[in-house]
Amino acid sequence: MSAWVLPDHIADVLPSEARHIEELRRLYLDTARGYGYELVMPPLLEYLESLLSGTGRALDLQTFKLVDQLSGRTLGLRADTTPQVARIDAHLLNRAGVTRLCYCGPVLHTRPDRPFATREPLQFGAEIYGHAGIEADLEVLHLALDTLKAVSIHQFTVDLSDARIVPALLIGVTLTADARDALHSALAAKDTSGVQALSKDLPAHVRTALVALVDMYGDASVLAQAEKTFAAWPVVLQALAELRQIAADLSGVAITFDLADLRGYAYYSGVRFAIFVPGASDALVRGGRYDEVGAVFGRKRPAVGFSLDLKELVSVVPERALKAAIRAPWGTAQGLREAIATLRANGETVVCVMPGHESEVDEFDCDRELIEVAGQWAVQAVPAVQAL
């Protein structure tokens, strides 16, 4: 095998795309800061038990593991940043009130989560801790929508669900972890026959409710149907009421519901959302409430957040124009070097042309050039027919 071949679903990011991704990263961190979210930078790896505490088996299977040569303990390369941010909130910041945190960094997956997906997403996310009310859910959802609007994505669909529904239906029912996982998978896949087979030994009213849940996806009429079907489960009715309230707040936004949606990590504990945009093969943004995620760190705090992959985002947004730049000759003359340094100090990009490479195209739009006029260096516009 050639030394330059990369592992499957791992790829280099080349200049044009890398520039676009970096611009998006800066834009998104600024957008989150506009809401009052503070930036944190968790480490890429940490002790496995800390990284996976309370996250469930799905995240465990997605996590690369290795042995620390210093301590002999098992380390994990993070597959999701949320548990780390929960640890920071619980142990390092330890604030009593509301805390808003955001982050942007790579995560690693042992397997791609869908065909053609990368195993090294660049995950941006924002999370709010310390408020149990629906106001936090709404703020996070509006921030997620604003991140899409910031890159001129105005066509999207918000799909709502709630992680409390299935556990509420299964209260008092004894299932092994494998059986529960299989049932969750069948519900998420809308596999009616699978749900029927997996629930055949459950009480009749539970089995009937689970089978009915499979078909509860679509427009707002789903909520009315669910309220009738699940009238005997107060927790489910509360979840449905919150979904109604959130949908009412999102005026002008296309909204769907999928009450059996259980995809994602096991730490969700309340309202969940997924945002779909044209051109993306799956949900571009996922988020929701996960009040239990900090409990394993000794400090259970209400929490809501969302995340997205900037590498996936860049594939569905229009390419940005090349950055305007100034073309300058390469030289050692003091006046030339001082002129270039002054321009760069003022925020300009100055590309010095190496001898013999005057006609090469690069990642910058050199619409101006630095030329010597009567012994002084001056910037002039490049005629359109000469622009690179």
Longest Cα separation, the chain: 94
In a domain, 387, yes or no: no
In a domain, 210, yes or no: yes
Residues 271 and 282 in one domain: no
Answer whether residue 321 shows pLDDT above 90: no
Answer whether residue 249 shows pLDDT above 90: yes
Answer whether residue 387 shows pLDDT above 50: no
In a domain, 258, yes or no: yes
Contact 292, 181 (CB under 8 A): no
In a domain, 282, yes or no: yes
Residues 120 and 78 in one domain: yes
Could you tell me the residue range of the domain that residue 161 belongs to?
A: 157-276
In a domain, 388, yes or no: no
Q: Which residues, 6+ apart, have CB-to-CB distance to 204 below 8 Å? A: none
Residues 7 and 124 in one domain: yes
Answer whether residue 133 shows pLDDT above 70: yes
Greatest mean pLDDT among 91-95, 137-141, 200-204 lies in 137-141
Residues 191 and 266 in one domain: yes
Annotated binding residues, as ranges? 80-82, 123, 127, 263, 267-268
Least confident of 75-89, 241-255, 311-325: 311-325
Nearest Cα residue to 198 out of 270, 225, 189: 189
Of the three residues 217, 242, 276, the one that is the final residue of a domain is 276
Contact 265, 55 (CB under 8 A): yes
| pLDDT averaged over every residue in the chain | 91
In a domain, 51, yes or no: yes
Residues 286 and 200 in one domain: no
* CB-side neighbour CA atoms (13 Å) of 328: 26
Annotated binding residues for L-histidine, as ranges? 80-82, 123, 127, 263, 267-268
* Order of strands, sheet of 122-129, starting from the edge strand that comes earlier in the sequence: 38-39, 99-106, 122-129, 303-309, 285-289, 271-276, 157-162, 254-258, 217-218
Contact 59, 296 (CB under 8 A): no
Distance CA 299, CA 5 (A): 45
In a domain, 386, yes or no: no
State the burial class of residue 124 (Cβ atoms within 10 Å of its Cβ: 0-12, 13-18, 19+): buried
Residues 16 and 2 in one domain: yes
Residues 101 and 121 in one domain: yes
Contact 305, 126 (CB under 8 A): yes
Q: Tens digit of pLDDT for each residue in 352-380? A: 998 888 776 577 889 999 999 998 999 99
Residues 147 and 14 in one domain: yes
Residues 40 and 180 in one domain: no
Residues 5 and 142 in one domain: yes
Of the three residues 320, 335, 353, the one that is the final residue of a domain is 320
Tokens coding 44: 């890429």
Q: In this structure, what CATH number is given to the domain that contains residue 186?
A: 3.30.930.10
| Total structural domains within the chain | 3
Residue 385 has a pLDDT of 56
- pLDDT (mean) for 334-351: 96
Residues 89 and 228 in one domain: no
Residues 287 and 140 in one domain: yes
In a domain, 266, yes or no: yes
- pLDDT (mean) for 138-148: 97
